[in-house]
Structure 1
Amino acid sequence: MIQVFMSKRGSGKSKYMISHANTAMKETKGHVVFIDDDNRAMHELDRDIRFINTDGYEIEDLNSLYGFVCGIVAQDYDVDMVYVDGLMGKMDFSKEDAEKEFEKLSKLSDDNKITVLFALNDTEQTPEYLKKYKVEIE
């Protein structure tokens, strides 16, 4: 399953994602992975959460993110949740193949019974296909 936390820039999505991941770590029997484009969240996350800073991995589009998540899932069959924060602002979701790539991510998560959670800025340019994954921040 894919969930997208979508709201305006500066509304607390990252803090919510960190809190959500920490709670998930306490409740899940599997592993939790938190992917970010810098180290800001690293010290706020439970130490059992696998934190990955993507700064050196050149993840520039949904296709490279898909491959990255495939590698994580292939390496660890016990992954239950993957959080993706920060790097989504660098990707172009309006590209012609973006919807197809997002659907591949959705199929990957469904096939492997993992939840992939994204934090995204909600703008007027947000494509319709992303809105079906939108989850309200509690």
Structure 2
Amino acid sequence: MVRVIMGVKGTGKTKQMIDLINTAVQNEHGNVVCIERGPKLTYDINYKIRLVEASHYDMKGYEFLKGFISGLYAGNYDITHVFIDSLTKIVPSEATSLEVENFLDWLNNFGEDNNIKFTVTISADESLASDGVKKYF
């Protein structure tokens, strides 16, 4: 299952993400992972969350990010929820691009196959989202 939270800067995406992360750690029976760019969530989320600083890994494309997520899961089959904060900043791209749609579809399939939930934020105007992205709202 994939859920996308989309909006321009200042619309409360990060606050909503923090609330969802902290709720997940209390309600999930497995491990929760958060991939972010920059250390902005370090002091706002529960210490039990596995926080991954994406800029340490030089993610230049969605294929890399797919491999990265697959590797996280291969190393820990107890992951039940992955949060990705600011997807288009972690992997620079347009929020309306086919690459984003394909990545979200891959996440959805990977999540269904492995029983993992994904929550993704995208910093862009919601009205610009393509139908391929909107289906995950």
Shorter-chain TM band? 0.7 to 0.9
Give 5+ residue unaligned stretches, structure 1: none
Determine the structure 1 residue equivalent to 2:43.
Answer: 43
Instruction: Choose the corresponding residue for 1:100, options 99, 102, 105.
Output: 102
Determine the structure 2 residue equivalent to 1:117.
Answer: 119
State whether residues 35 and 84 of structure 2, in contact with CA within 8 Å, keep that contact through their aligned partners in structure 1.
Answer: yes
The CA distance in 2 between the partners of 1:11 and 1:77, in whole Å, is 34
- Over 3 Å counting, the alpha-carbon distance change for 1:126 and 1:61 in structure 2 is farther
For normalisation by structure 1, the TM-score amounts to 0.87
Q: CA deviation at 1:79?
A: 0.4
- Over 3 Å counting, the alpha-carbon distance change for 1:19 and 1:108 in structure 2 is same
Q: CA deviation at 1:94?
A: 4.3
Structure having the higher helix fraction is 2
Determine the structure 2 residue equivalent to 1:130.
Answer: 133
Q: CA RMSD in A?
A: 1.7
Q: CA deviation at 1:98?
A: 4.2
Percent identity, aligned pairs only, is 28
The CA distance in 1 between the partners of 2:124 and 2:45, in whole Å, is 25
Q: CA deviation at 1:97?
A: 4.5
Q: Which amino acid aligns with 2:130?
A: P
State whether residues 4 and 133 of structure 1, in contact with CA within 8 Å, keep that contact through their aligned partners in structure 2.
Answer: yes
Deviations 1:13-69 (CA, angstroms, capped at 9, x unpaired): 011111110111011110000110111101111000000001121123322221111
The CA distance in 1 between the partners of 2:27 and 2:104, in whole Å, is 27
Deviations 1:68-118 (CA, angstroms, capped at 9, x unpaired): 111111111000100000342323344454433332221111101100100
Q: Which amino acid aligns with 2:133?
A: L
Determine the structure 2 residue equivalent to 1:76.
Answer: 76
For normalisation by structure 2, the TM-score amounts to 0.88
Give 5+ residue unaligned stretches, structure 2: none
Off by >4 Å, runs of 4+ in structure 1:
93-98
Q: Which amino acid aligns with 1:49?
A: I
